[in-house]
């Protein structure tokens, strides 16, 4: 069995855990599943079968020292290195999407955070993202534990933005193959073009049911709770939006040809860029040898076309942080019109078509846990005071995606 130079697996039990390749900034988020190659008919360069490589190789999860590309779903920070040079007056008029997400795309958590409170999202972009609360840290730790059941983390050196994007696509390819042949994958990254914008996301878990005649992937998201209670309706709505966004992206990817030329152009990437040596070795070990970013993107598009559309039934799971006991599950149906309307509404804010809005009056209790409440104009309205509203442990007490 071939391991990455930094793979520290040493015993039989550990060696059975699949590993994957990602960048260091994504170490806590993009982790998933067992490595497998794709069919030789699809990728003629590889003469080995998927099943044989599943038994012989591992999906490698790596970290790197390159800092040019933020985390795929991180909501904070300014990315402007790929933005065209403009004068100061023009920059002031740029949309939030162009100013802050030009180099990496809009994340699904950007959408859900905007739906939660647009004004809070505006503060995060302009002032900076507050540090994680203890509840958020506990939620992240739980995700890491779930991922650790199926993943071994391995570091791989990357040298460019092209390398970083290649890692995202590689993780999808090997995770998609694990789903097809093992029936389960976790932390699967998505990169797609939705409603005229580039969007990225990471799906917590995807299950392939065995009992149904028509096997359709079921998308699952796990939230952790500080208190042994189920969330309020606005929280459930926000969680449903997140999963529906994933399904919207998934179905678009499997139904339409990936617009690679548009992708390279938008992110100012060189499709013929030679990937770092470690990444090239990793793609070869995983069954889809690639020299350039264009090679990996081509495999990504082919992998998407092998997949069926996601199941219309989506699942939210709620766990108690203290002992990981299951508090309840929210199984719900996909609503295509509703999710498209929600995404379009959020994009109006991101594209600068209107100013940030505030939560409705009956949801102003959200302000109780907002780090920007003391300076937010919403709290200057005597009718909008949240001091007497019901104390809720809101989204910040749940697991970030």
Q: HSE on the CB side for 184, CA within 13 Å?
A: 7
Residue 280 DSSP SS3: helix
Rounded to an integer, what distance in angstroms lies between the CA atom of residue 291 and that of residue 93? 40
Whether the link from the prior residue into 33 is cis, omega within 30° of 0, is yes
Q: Is residue 5 part of a domain?
A: no
Q: What's the chain's Rg over C-alpha atoms?
A: 21
pLDDT score, position 129? 80
pLDDT score, position 136? 57
Q: Is residue 225 part of a domain?
A: yes
**DSSP-assigned beta bridge partners for residue 219:** 206
DSSP 8-state assignment for residue 17: S
10-residue stretch averages of pLDDT, the chain, 401 residues long: 38 42 40 32 33 31 38 37 40 78 94 97 91 59 57 72 95 92 93 96 94 89 93 96 98 97 96 95 93 98 96 97 94 98 97 95 93 88 43 40 39
Contact 21, 285 (CB under 8 A): no
pTM of the model: 0.73
* Structural domain containing residue 71: 12-373+389-397
Rounded to an integer, what distance in angstroms lies between the CA atom of residue 94 and that of residue 361? 30
Give the chain's domain count.
1
Q: Is residue 195 part of a domain?
A: yes
In the block, tokens 């005649």 appear at 213
pLDDT score, position 210? 85
pLDDT score, position 240? 98
Q: Is residue 7 part of a domain?
A: no
Q: Is residue 220 part of a domain?
A: yes
Q: Is residue 2 part of a domain?
A: no
pLDDT score, position 212? 76
Q: Is residue 95 part of a domain?
A: yes
Is 262 exposed, middle or buried (CB count within 10 Å of its CB: 0-12, 13-18, 19+)? exposed
């Amino acid at each position: 069995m071939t391991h990455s130079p930094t793979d520290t697996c040493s015993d039989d039990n550990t060696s059975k855990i699949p590993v994957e390749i990602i960048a260091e900034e994504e170490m806590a988020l993009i982790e998933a599943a067992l490595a497998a190659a794709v069919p030789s008919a699809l990728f003629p360069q590889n003469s080995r079968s998927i099943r044989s490589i599943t038994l012989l190789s591992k999906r490698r999860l790596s970290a790197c020292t390159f800092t040019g590309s933020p985390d795929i779903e991180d909501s904070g920070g300014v990315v402007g290195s790929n933005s065209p040079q403009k004068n100061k007056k023009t920059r002031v008029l740029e949309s939030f999407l162009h100013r802050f997400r030009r180099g990496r795309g809009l994340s699904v958590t950007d959408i859900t955070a905007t739906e939660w409170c647009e004004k809070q999202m505006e503060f995060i972009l302009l002032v900076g993202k507050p540090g994680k609360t203890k509840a958020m840290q506990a939620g992240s730790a739980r995700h890491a534990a779930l991922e650790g059941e199926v993943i071994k983390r391995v570091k791989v050196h990357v040298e460019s933005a092209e390398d970083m994007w290649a890692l995202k696509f590689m993780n999808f390819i090997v995770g998609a193959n694990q789903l097809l042949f093992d029936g389960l994958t976790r932390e699967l990254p998505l990169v797609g073009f939705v409603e005229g914008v580039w969007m990225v996301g990471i799906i917590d878990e995807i299950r392939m049911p065995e009992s149904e005649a028509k096997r359709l992937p079921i998308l699952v998201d796990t939230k952790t709770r500080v208190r042994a209670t189920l969330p309020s309706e606005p929280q459930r709505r926000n969680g449903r939006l997140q999963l529906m966004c994933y399904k919207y992206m998934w179905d678009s990817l499997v139904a339409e040809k990936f617009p690679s030329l548009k992708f390279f152009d938008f992110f100012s990437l060189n499709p013929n860029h030679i990937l770092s040596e470690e990444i090239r070795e990793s793609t070869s070990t995983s069954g889809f040898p690639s020299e350039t970013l264009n090679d990996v993107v081509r495999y990504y598009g082919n992998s998407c076309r092998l997949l069926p559309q996601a199941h219309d039934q989506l699942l939210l799971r709620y766990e108690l942080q203290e002992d990981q006991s299951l508090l309840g599950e929210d199984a719900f149906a996909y609503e295509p019109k509703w999710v498209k309307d929600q995404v379009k509404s959020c994009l109006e804010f991101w594209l600068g078509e209107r100013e940030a809005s505030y939560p409705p009056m009956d949801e102003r209790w959200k302000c109780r846990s907002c780090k920007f409440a003391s300076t937010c104009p919403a709290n200057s309205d005597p009718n909008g005071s949240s001091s007497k509203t019901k104390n809720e442990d809101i989204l910040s007490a749940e697991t970030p995606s």
